[in-house]
């Protein structure tokens, strides 16, 4: 393993240094970070004039000149103006300032140029996002980075700070694994550094250190968790995937076996590798309001992994025109259990696509029956630079909502089009009605009590509609994202939607287990699975609360099935097989058996006995789940 020169171990925490901090710095160096040993006495050794400074201005100035050189040299005065424009914020709260600065890091800022012959205004960028030009960025890790508190003699010393082009974007707090609660202690320290311990009245941190912050990490090597500015304990999550590298590649880099990789090493490889960190900053950081409060969201590892897999499928899969079986191979199913953030994953996917030249021009059609997803997309549109259609201008047009939507889909523009399922359910064509007369048993009373006009038959109606959709857009540069792809409308609605967009790629999202009987039809529409994140994984990650229950079975059965089958054949012997099947589907459903009064009564009695004997004495309540 590579040795890093001039690292000075802190004498106060030898175990923390040897088991946590030093291994992290070594891994960062292997991944391409320059590592500089901090000094708590001489600020010049960490490239600063004093310990109040948190930005390494020398590195930032040089990065600005390198990154913007394609449009001509950048003089010192323009660099100064760009830095002032970057850092200018009002009196907002820390997280609002962080949101503004994050947007400037992604988009850049306009600056008045003083160069002879140049345009009056020039757009200056602070980060090079092109993967082919990553050498223009500067990646530096400093350990034991002292920062003085404003107006006081006290200071804080974060264990590791990661700088991107001189800007502090990641703060890592290391704790000895021998501590009683190392993760809790580290999280509390990060909250203190950033002035986010709401139960403490006084200012105890250094907010300037977190103005450009994108990720916060706490680690004791065997457990490492990642969060964002303002997040509290419950929102710090473990990062359990090394995508886009394989565990084998990471293990080889570290000189160990994949099975020996620990939580810190996996998190560093998956989220702190220079390319991944820039990817997260550009495509996976969101801000949104929750209960009137601004929150910052970083991706969970399964979201990051799923988006990368989906993008790879879109780039490498065959279109219908290229496929020998006339099927689009660019889509599939993302099966992430409920509560794992599927809606946010959709947003991440769209943002990622907009940064890839081959996918940038895609029209993205998001189909759901939930209004909350539309709100999430609209709330994040400002950061993506896009608007969600139909917008206010579209809504002002003449015509029904469906006609407006069809008009948008006909356009070849790279929009994000949001469509509620109900808008697609406008049926055209004739409806064909099949009617069947079937006998019914007489009431259970004496024959002489029957009135003469007692009906002996019943009419069953089966309605079959012509659901042909017109072709709206034949471009292959269309991606359809369908929420809750497992639902029953996949067989009809989704298939008909594809008649309107025949060459589109399709990705279905679901978090509900796909029944074995429905799996073939769901995969037939969308293709193979792209990524899976199962319920047991969510429980292990503490993203979903574990449900503890006691399974109880009931021995219910249908008596004399052979007699019933024979009786059915006798009663309906004059009907065709298709007509018999309609009758069976209506009257011989599994639900009718499960809802038989006698079976329900036995189940209720059993539950009551069990509750009174085993649950109630312990002071607990009970919940019953039924099929209807």
Please tell me the least confidently modeled range out of 38-47, 447-456, 488-497.
447-456
DSSP-assigned states of every residue in 346-378: HHHHHHHHTTSTTTTT-EEEEEES-HHHHHHHH
Q: Once rounded to an integer, what is the mean pLDDT over residues 479-490?
A: 70
User: Where residue 525 falls among pLDDT bands split at 50, 70, 90?
Assistant: low
Q: Which residues pair with 306 in a beta bridge?
A: none
Please state, in angstroms and as integers, the Cα–Cα distance from residue 174 to each residue in 141, 184, 188, 274, 535, following that order: 14, 11, 12, 20, 30
Q: Domain extents for the chain?
A: 14-290, 299-428+467-539, 435-460
What's the pTM value of the predicted model, to 2 decimals? Answer: 0.81
Reported as a single tens digit per residue, the pLDDT across 526-555 is 788 999 999 889 888 887 777 666 666 666
Q: What is the pLDDT at residue 487?
A: 58
User: Of the CATH numbers 3.40.190.10, 3.40.630.30, 1.10.1040.10, 3.40.50.300, which one belongs to the domain with range 299-428+467-539?
Assistant: 3.40.50.300
Reported as a single tens digit per residue, the pLDDT across 368-391 is 766 776 676 666 665 566 778 888
Please tell me the least confidently modeled range out of 215-224, 330-339, 617-626.
617-626
Q: What is the pLDDT at residue 47?
A: 97
pLDDT at 438 over 60: no
CA 105/CA 248 separation, integer angstroms: 33
Q: Which of the listed ranges 12-26, 51-65, 447-461 does the model predict with the highest average pLDDT?
A: 51-65
Please tell me the least confidently modeled range out of 303-312, 339-348, 372-381, 502-511.
372-381
pLDDT at 455 over 50: no
Please state, in angstroms and as integers, the Cα–Cα distance from residue 207 to each residue in 84, 96, 150, 204, 228, following that order: 18, 12, 9, 9, 14
Q: What is the pLDDT at residue 437?
A: 43
Reported as a single tens digit per residue, the pLDDT across 67-106 is 999 988 999 999 999 999 999 998 899 999 999 999 999 9
Q: Taking Cα atoms as reference points, which of 154, 159, 146 lies closest to residue 28? A: 159
pLDDT at 472 over 80: yes
């Amino acid at each position: 393993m590579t040795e890093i020169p001039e690292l000075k171990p802190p004498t106060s925490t030898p175990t923390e240094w040897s088991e946590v901090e030093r291994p992290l710095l070594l891994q960062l160096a292997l991944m391409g970070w320059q590592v500089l040993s901090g000094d708590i006495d001489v600020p010049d050794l960490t490239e600063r004039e004093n310990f109040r400074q948190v930005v390494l201005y020398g590195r930032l100035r040089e990065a600005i000149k390198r990154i913007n050189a394609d449009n001509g040299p950048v003089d010192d005065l323009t660099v100064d103006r760009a830095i002032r424009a970057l850092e200018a914020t009002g009196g907002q709260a820390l997280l609002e300032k962080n949101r503004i600065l994050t947007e400037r890091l992604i988009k850049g800022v306009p600056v008045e140029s003083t160069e002879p012959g140049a345009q009056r205004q020039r757009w200056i960028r602070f980060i090079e996002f092109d993967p082919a030009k990553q050498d223009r960025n500067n990646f530096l890790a400093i350990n034991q980075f002292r920062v003085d508190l404003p107006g006081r003699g006290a200071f804080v010393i974060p264990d590791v700070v990661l700088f991107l082009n001189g800007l502090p974007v990641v703060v890592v707090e290391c704790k000895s694994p021998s501590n009683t609660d190392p993760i809790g202690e580290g999280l509390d320290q990060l909250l203190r550094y950033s002035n986010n311990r709401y139960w403490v009245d006084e200012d105890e941190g250094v907010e300037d250190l977190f103005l450009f912050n994108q990720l916060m990490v706490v680690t004791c090597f065997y457990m490492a968790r990642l969060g964002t500015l303002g997040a509290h304990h419950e929102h710090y999550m473990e990062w359990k995937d090394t995508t886009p590298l394989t565990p084998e590649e990471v293990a080889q880099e570290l000189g160990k076996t994949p099975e020996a990789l620990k939580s810190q090493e996996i998190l560093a490889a998956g989220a702190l590798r220079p390319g991944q960190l820039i990817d997260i900053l550009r495509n996976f950081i969101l801000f949104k309001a929750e209960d009137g409060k601004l929150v910052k969201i970083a991706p969970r590892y399964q979201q990051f992994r799923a988006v990368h897999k989906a993008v790879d499928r879109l780039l490498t899969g065959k279109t219908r025109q290229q496929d020998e079986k006339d099927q689009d191979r660019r889509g599939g199913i993302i099966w992430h259990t409920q509560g794992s953030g599927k809606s946010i994953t959709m947003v991440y996917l769209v943002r990622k696509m907009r940064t890839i030249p081959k996918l940038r021009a895609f029209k993205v059609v998001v189909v759901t029956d939930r209004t909350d997803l539309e709100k999430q997309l609209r709330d994040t549109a400002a950061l993506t630079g896009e608007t969600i259609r139909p917008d206010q201008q579209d809504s002002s047009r003449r015509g029904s909502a469906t006609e407006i939507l069809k008009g948008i889909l006909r356009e070849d523009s790279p929009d994000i089009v949001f469509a509620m399922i109900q808008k697609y359910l406008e049926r055209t064509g004739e409806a064909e009605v099949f009617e069947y007369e079937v006998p019914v048993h007489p009431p259970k009373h004496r024959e002489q009590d029957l009135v003469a006009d007692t009906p002996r038959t019943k009419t069953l109606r089966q309605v079959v509609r012509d659901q042909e959709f017109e072709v709206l857009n034949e471009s292959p540069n269309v991606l359809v994202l369908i929420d809750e792809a497992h639902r029953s409308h996949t067989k009809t609605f989704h298939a008909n939607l594809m008649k309107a967009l025949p060459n589109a790629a399709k990705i279905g999202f679901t978090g509900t287990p796909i029944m074995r009987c429905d799996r073939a039809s769901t995969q037939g529409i969308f293709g193979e699975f792209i990524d899976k994140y199962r319920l047991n994984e969510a429980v292990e990650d503490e993203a979903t609360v574990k449900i503890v229950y006691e399974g109880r079975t009931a021995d219910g059965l249908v008596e004399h099935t052979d007699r019933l089958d024979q009786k059915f054949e006798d009663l309906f012997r004059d009907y065709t097989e298709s007509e018999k099947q309609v009758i069976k589907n209506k009257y011989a459903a599994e639900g009718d058996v499960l809802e038989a009064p006698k079976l329900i009564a036995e189940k209720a009695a059993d539950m009551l006995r069990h509750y009174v004997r085993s649950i109630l004495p312990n002071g607990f309540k009970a919940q019953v789940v039924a099929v209807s």
